[in-house]
Amino acid sequence: MSASAEAVGRRANDTDSEVGLWIFLASEVMFFGLLFYGYTITRINHPQAFADASAHTDLLLGSVNAFVLFTSSLTMALAARSLRLGAQRASVRLLAATLALGILFLAIKCYEYHVDIESHLVPWGDFAVSGRLAGGERLFFFMYFVMTGAHAIHLTVGLGVLSVMLVGVARGTYTEQNSQAVELAALYWALVDTVWIFLYPILYLVHRP
């Protein structure tokens, strides 16, 4: 099986739809890149406020979510691989696991937002911090909500795509011979995962006293 898996896996030519999706993914990289750019410039202007504000984020929830999302990337890659090799039932189970992990991520994120709101960390309201660094800390939490919010929207879109894939594979619409849609969905899901790979250190790990 190993040898045939290798044969299935190695392709020299990209399909048109793969090329199209990668162009979309490159534009997504530039979209999130601008947010990271904004974050970087703001942090250069407010280094101490960003360090202090980052300590207010919930490291445990952020870390658990990183684990959940990184794991969902594995189940998604395995789901696409299973379908490519004709293991339809395994693919359905792995897609369901990916969907469940994605929903778990969103649920934890929503709970975290709830805690943030209760702790008055929303920058356009009655903000928890006052004093000299309050302005900079507000900017940190502005970036925090915009970046994690943009990520959550992408993840929600991904959940919709995954649901369609799950039904499609279960019904036999997507098969060993027709697995491309699932493969493209796996690419998009891995990109959403990649964004969290960078959001996690710059939002949760700036300064841990």
Partner 1 sequence: MTSTLRLIGVWLAVIALLGVSTGSAYIPMGRFNSIVCVTIGFIQALLVWTFFMRLRWSGLLVRLIAVTGLLWIVLLLGLSLTDYLTRHPVAS
User: Using CA atoms, how far apart are residues 65 and 195, in angstroms rounded to an integer?
Assistant: 13
Is position 2 an interface residue for partner 1 (rule: CB under 8 A)? Answer: yes
100 binds partner 1 (CB under 8 A): no
Q: Judged by CB under 8 A, which of 52, 53, 57, 66 binds partner 1?
A: 66
Which secondary-structure segment (H or E) carries 209?
Answer: none
Nearer to partner 1, 25 or 134 (CB): 25
**Selected range binding partner 1 among 99-107, 132-140, 141-149, 180-188, rule: CB under 8 A:** 180-188
Does 23 bind partner 1 (CB under 8 A)? Our answer is: yes
Binding part of the chain for partner 1, among 95-103, 105-113, 167-175, 192-200 by CB under 8 A, reads 192-200
- AA letter at 175: T
The encoded tokens of residue 71 equal 């794991």
Give CA–CA dist 126/156, Å, rounded.
Answer: 29
Distance CA 82, CA 74 (A): 12
207 binds partner 1 (CB under 8 A): yes
User: Buried b vs exposed e over 11-49: b needs ≥16 C-beta within 10 Å?
Assistant: eeeeeeeeeebeeebeebeeebeebbeebeebbeebeeb
Interface with partner 1 by CB under 8 A: which range of 39-47, 112-120, 144-152, 169-177?
A: 39-47
Q: How far is the CB of 125 from partner 1 (least distance, A)?
A: 28
Distance in angstroms (rounded) separating the CA atoms of residues 113 and 140? 15
Whichever of 25 and 96 has its CB closer to partner 1, that residue is: 25
13 contacts partner 1 (rule: CB under 8 A): yes
74 interacts with partner 1 by CB under 8 A: yes
Cα–Cα distance between 165 and 206 in angstroms, integer?
38
Angle at which helices 47-54 and 134-171 pack, to 10 degrees? 50
**Residue carrying structure tokens 């960078």:** 198
Beta strand residue intervals within the chain, DSSP E: none
CB closer to partner 1, 90 vs 128: 90
| Residue ranges binding partner 1 (CB under 8 A) | 1-2, 5-6, 9-14, 18-19, 22-23, 25-30, 33-34, 36-37, 40-41, 44, 59, 63, 66-67, 70-71, 73-74, 76-78, 81, 183, 186-187, 190-191, 193-194, 197-198, 200-202, 204-208
